[in-house]
Structure 1
Amino acid sequence: MEKINKEKLKEIEEEVLSGSDFLKKLLSVIVLILLLVGCNHEPSFSEFSFSEINLKNANKDVQAFIEELENYNGTHLYFERDSTIYIFLNGKNELKDGKKVYFSNFNVDVKEKTLNIYYNQKETDDNLEITANDQLLYQINLDKKYEVIKAFGNGELKFSGRQ
């Protein structure tokens, strides 16, 4: 009986070992597939759109970006992957002459391989006029990668750069 048990144990051991070879091969194939999929990652573009975002509702990375730039008036871009751009318009800080800046008429359009950002900017010393519009945040969802991004304040080119 002892001999039969040893033979049975040997058979079971061989089955387990051959099964583990199969599992190793299967695992190798799965890892290879995952690597190929990961290396072939393309940004996930969606339909082109833009919208105003409440500063308090922005994700933590965008909020950290805004906090870094709160003391600097101007137009600031934050790129989240290749498919989303946030535009932070900041006029919160008083100018040398005591006036403050507020923004209006934000718009975005596309001309061939260029993304154009438009807005109006006005100066005032009336705090009631600017309270709601001295800091604005817009999210632009891109439909493709653009070669050039231009921003126009009051029709004047403020900056031009590559994505």
Structure 2
Amino acid sequence: MKNAICLFSLLILLFGCTPSELSYSEVKPDTVNNDVKEFVTSVEDTNGIHFYEADKNTKYIFFNEYLVEQGKEAHYFEDIEISGEGQILTISFTEHATAEYANKSITNRLLYEVKTDKDYESVKLLKNGEEIALKVVSGSGK
């Protein structure tokens, strides 16, 4: 009986204290639900970082620098990392610029799906290590 209680207590410690997970991945806009597609369509003519909350645990971040003014450099994104610490969801990325507009390999339009492990009170956005503001924040109301 004593062994069963110890085993039960050990299982509670192992499974009850397992840290929750936060995950993210790049997704193609044609693979997401219609609400997210509509959001992306509504902001695709606005450069910047756009945040969409689909539900309590699913968020989307749309990185968009697709529109390039004539004579200006094209901007693109690399090294995207998303993490949660305390009550802050942090999105960091590196933004580069190039004069090679025709380069099809530059990533100037990306959509990321974020599966959160909890509710976060705020979102911190870091571009090249410096904090910036989100361009558009929206949600489905779910």
* Fold in common (TM above 0.5): yes
User: 1: CA distance between counterparts of 2:112 and 2:129?
Assistant: 19
Q: Does 1:114 align with 2:79?
A: no
Pair 1:86 & 2:60 matched? yes
User: Aligned-pair RMSD on alpha carbons?
Assistant: 2.2
Give unpaired runs (5+ residues) of structure 1: 1-45
Corresponding residue SS for 1:107: strand
Is residue 2:116 matched to residue 1:135? Answer: no
Q: Percent identity?
A: 30
CA deviation after TM superposition for structure 1 residue 96, in Å: 5.9
Structure showing the higher strand proportion among its residues: 2
Look up the match of 1:71. Answer: 45
Q: How many residues align?
A: 117
- Pairing of 1:22-37 with structure 2 (within 5 A): none
Select 1:124's aligned residue among 86, 95, 98.
Answer: 98
The separation in 1 between residues aligned to 2:111 and 2:60, in whole angstroms, is 7
Consecutive unaligned residues in structure 2, runs of 5 or more = 1-19, 138-142
The structure richer in helix per residue is 1
TM-score, normalisation: structure 1? 0.65
Structure 1 segments, 4+ long, off by >3 Å, are 128-132
Q: Which string of whole-angstrom CA distances, capped at 9 and with x for unpartnered residues, describes residues 104-137 of structure 1?
A: 1100112211110001111112124454511000
The match for 2:7 is none
